Structure 1
Amino acid sequence: MADNLKGIGVLIRQLLKSFNSPDLPFELTIQSKVPSERGMGSSAATAVALVRGFFNLFEKPLTRSRLLALADVEEQITHGNPSGLDAATASSEAPIWFVKNQINEQIEFHSSDLFLVIADSGIKGKTSEAVSLVHNNVVTNSDVAVPLIDQLGTIADSAKDALASADKKQLGMLMNQSQHHLSKLGVSTDTLDDFCRIAVANNALGAKLTGSGLGGCMISLTDNQRDAQIISTKLRQAGATQTWIQSFENYEYSTGEAHDNLVN
C-alpha cells in the first residue's frame, strides 16, 4: 500500500486481530470521490467505511463509540493528533456540534435552501505543518494569536445559532470573519484567499477555507443555485482543479443527542 495509506493498513490489521482472523484472505476495493489531503475528511470517511465493512463481514454489532475509537487508529497515524471531528462527522447521519472528549450533540439545522460551493485548490493540505504553525504563533506571538483563536471559538458558537435560526446573512458574515482570522494566523494561502474574494464578489454570502489550511479546499455559501453555478465557474476559471455544488436540502434537523446506540 502507498505511504498515504499506512493508517489504513494498520487499521485493517487491528480489525482482523480483534476478530481473531489475522490471516484471513480478502480483497478490498476502495472507491471514493472525496479527494485526499484536501481538508475534506477523506481519510476519516475511508476509516469509518472500513470499520463498518469489517463488522458487517463478521456479523458483529458496532456501537458508535467503538466505531470512533477504531477510526481513530487510522487518524492517529495519518494526522498525528486528530481532534476526532472528521470521523465523528463522517459517521453521523445528522449535523453535529463537536467538542473533543464530549458526546456529540446533534444541532438544530434549519437552512435547507442554501448551497455550498466547494473549490479544490489542487494543493495538498498540510495538517501537521498548520498545527505547528499555529502552536508556534501562540508561543512566540501570543498577544495576537490567542485572541484570534478565542474569536474563532466565538464565531463557531455564533454559527451554530445562525444555522438553527436560518440566519443565512449572519452565517455568511461569520464565514468571512473566520477566514480573516485564519488568514491572520497564517494557515490560509494566496490561492485560498483569492478563491474567497472571487466567491464573495459573485454574490456568495460568505467563504472560508476548510480543513487545516496551507492548501486544500475553500467553501462558500449561497442562497440560490444560479449564483452557486456562477461561483463554481468563476472559481474553475481562477484555477480550481475541481468544484462541487452541494445543496443543503434534506439536511434539516431538530435538536437531539448522538447517543451510544448501535450504528449501521
Structure 2
Amino acid sequence: MSRFVEYFGVEPDGSWRAPGRVNLIGEHTDYNDGLVLPIALPNQITITASARTDGLISVASAGQDGVISFSLDSLAPGSVKDWAAYPAGAAWVLLQDKYEIGGANLLVESDLPSGAGLSSSAALLCATAVALLGLHDIEVDPAEVARLAQRAENQYVGAPVGLMDQMASMCCTAGHALYFDIRAMTTDQIPFEPAADGLALLVVDVKAPHRLVDGEYAARRNSCEQAAAQLGVPALRSIAFEELDDALARLSDDVDRRRVRHVVTEIRRVEDAVALLRAGNLRAVGPLFTASHASLRDDFEITVPELDVAVDTALAAGALGARMTGGGFGGCIIALVEASATDTILTAIDKSFADHGFTTPSALDATPSAGASRIS
C-alpha cells in the first residue's frame, strides 16, 4: 500500500514537484530592484495529490505526524499555523485571485534540507500551487505562479520575502542559470553547465543555527531604504557603479555606506558574471564568487564563522571561487571547483570544521535543474 493511500485511503490523481535553489550571485539586491542569478537544484519538494469534493484540504508530510485539515471557506491569514500555513497560503492566494480550485488531499515529501537557505518554503508554496491548479487542469504562466507564491508568503504566512526564490523554483531550466532583472521583471536563461567544462558547483550546508535573523534582515533592509532616501533614489539599483564613490561620499553613516557599497558592487558582479557565462568563460566567474563573499562578510555583515571557514578552506584547497548563498547567518556556501578536486575540497572542509569544533557539514548535488512541473 502506498504512503498516500495509508494517509488518505484513496489513490492519488498525480504528483507535482518544485525545486529548491541556490543563488550564484546577486545576494541581497532583490529588495533594491536588483539583479540575481539563481539556479534550480535537483533537490525538490514533491506533492502527491487527489481531488476531493467536500471543500476541505488535508495535508500530510512524511516528516510530520498526522494529517492537518482545513476548509477552503474559512481560510484567512493566520487561520493555519506552522508548516501547514504554506499549503494553506497557496490555496488562499489562488482563491483570492478567483482560480476555481477545490478540496484536495496533499502528501508532501522532500529531499530538500529545511533551514539551509535553499528556499524550501518557496518550493513548498510553488509545489502546492501547481498541484492544486493541476488537479483542475488550470494552466497558469510560471511567472504568475511565482508571483502568487510570493503573495502567499508575504500576506498569508507573514514573511516579507522577495520574488527571486519563487521565480527560480518556477522558471529555471536545466543547464541554465536564471538571469532575473527584478526592476524590469524580465528573465533570460544563461547557459550554466559546469560539468561540460570539467567543473562542479558544490553546495555545502554548514549546519549553523540561524542567529538573530529577523531583526538583522530588517535592519539591513531599513539601512538600504534609509540610504536610498538620503540619496534621493527609489532604490539602490538606481546608483550606477560609476557613481558609487560620489554616492558614498554623500552618506553620513558608515553602516549605510557599507550596505550601499555591497548592493551596488554586487549588481555589477552579476552583470560581469552573466557576460562571462555568455562568453563561455565559466572559470573566470570564480573570483566574482569570492569577491561577493568578502562583500557579504565585510560590508553587509551577514556571514557567520562556519560560512567564513567553509569558504576560506575551499579556496585554500583549490576552489576557483566560493561564497555564502542565501539569507546568511547560517545556511550554505557554494564553491566552483575542478570536478577532479571535489573530494579533496570536501574532505578539507570536513577536517577544518572538526578542528574548529563545528557540526559536521553536508554537501548537495548542484546540477542546474528544471523548475516546477508535473511528474506523474
Cα gap change, 1:136 to 1:16, in 2 (>3 Å): closer
Query: 1:79 & 1:177 partners in 2: Cα distance?
Result: 33
- The range that moved more, 12-21 or 177-186, is 12-21
**Of residues 306, 316, 320 in structure 2, which corresponds to 1:191?**
306
- Name the amino acid aligned to 1:157: E
Kindly indicate which of the two structures has a greater share of residues assigned to strand. Answer: 2
- Name the amino acid aligned to 1:39: G
Cα gap change, 1:129 to 1:205, in 2 (>3 Å): farther
Residues 146-198 of structure 1: CA deviation (Å, up to 9, x unaligned): 12221111111111112222323321100000000000121111110000011
Cα gap change, 1:65 to 1:143, in 2 (>3 Å): closer
Asked whether 1:11 is paired with 2:125, we answer no
Q: RMSD between aligned alpha carbons?
A: 2.7
Gap runs ≥5 in structure 2 = 1-67, 69-80, 227-252, 354-358
Residues 35-81 of structure 1: CA deviation (Å, up to 9, x unaligned): 12322121112222111111111111222243122211333255733
Asked whether 1:142 is paired with 2:142, we answer no
Query: 1:130 & 1:210 partners in 2: Cα distance?
Result: 16
Query: 2:106 & 2:205 partners in 1: Cα distance?
Result: 28
Asked whether 1:156 is paired with 2:276, we answer no
Cα gap change, 1:86 to 1:79, in 2 (>3 Å): farther
Corresponding residue number in structure 1 for 2:178 = 96
Cα gap change, 1:65 to 1:156, in 2 (>3 Å): closer
**Of residues 135, 155, 165 in structure 2, which corresponds to 1:57?**
135
Query: 1:78 & 1:122 partners in 2: Cα distance?
Result: 25
- 1:68–1:87 CA contact under 8 A, matched in 2: yes
Asked whether 1:86 is paired with 2:155, we answer no
Corresponding residue number in structure 1 for 2:364 = 244
**Of residues 198, 201, 209 in structure 2, which corresponds to 1:116?**
201
Structure 2 counterpart SS, 1:107: strand
- The range that moved more, 124-133 or 179-188, is 124-133
- The range that moved more, 214-223 or 229-238, is 229-238
Structure 1 counterpart SS, 2:105: coil
Cα gap change, 1:21 to 1:246, in 2 (>3 Å): closer
Query: 1:247 & 1:10 partners in 2: Cα distance?
Result: 30
Please identify the structure whose Cα radius of gyration is greater.
2
Give the CA deviation at 1:19: 4.7
Query: 1:81 & 1:207 partners in 2: Cα distance?
Result: 28
- The range that moved more, 190-199 or 36-45, is 36-45
**Of residues 196, 218, 221 in structure 2, which corresponds to 1:132?**
218
Kindly indicate which of the two structures has a greater share of residues assigned to helix. Answer: 1
Corresponding residue number in structure 2 for 1:209 = 324
Cα gap change, 1:246 to 1:110, in 2 (>3 Å): closer
Percent same amino acid among aligned pairs?
21
Cα gap change, 1:62 to 1:137, in 2 (>3 Å): closer
- The range that moved more, 69-78 or 46-55, is 69-78
Query: 2:101 & 2:290 partners in 1: Cα distance?
Result: 50
Give the CA deviation at 1:136: 5.1
Cα gap change, 1:8 to 1:203, in 2 (>3 Å): same
Structure 2 counterpart SS, 1:104: strand
Query: 2:157 & 2:311 partners in 1: Cα distance?
Result: 28
Q: TM-score, normalised by structure 2?
A: 0.59
Structure 2 counterpart SS, 1:198: helix
- The range that moved more, 179-188 or 119-128, is 119-128
Give the CA deviation at 1:124: 4.6
**Of residues 284, 288, 292 in structure 2, which corresponds to 1:178?**
292
Corresponding residue number in structure 2 for 1:106 = 189
- 1:125–1:214 CA contact under 8 A, matched in 2: yes
Structure 1 counterpart SS, 2:140: coil
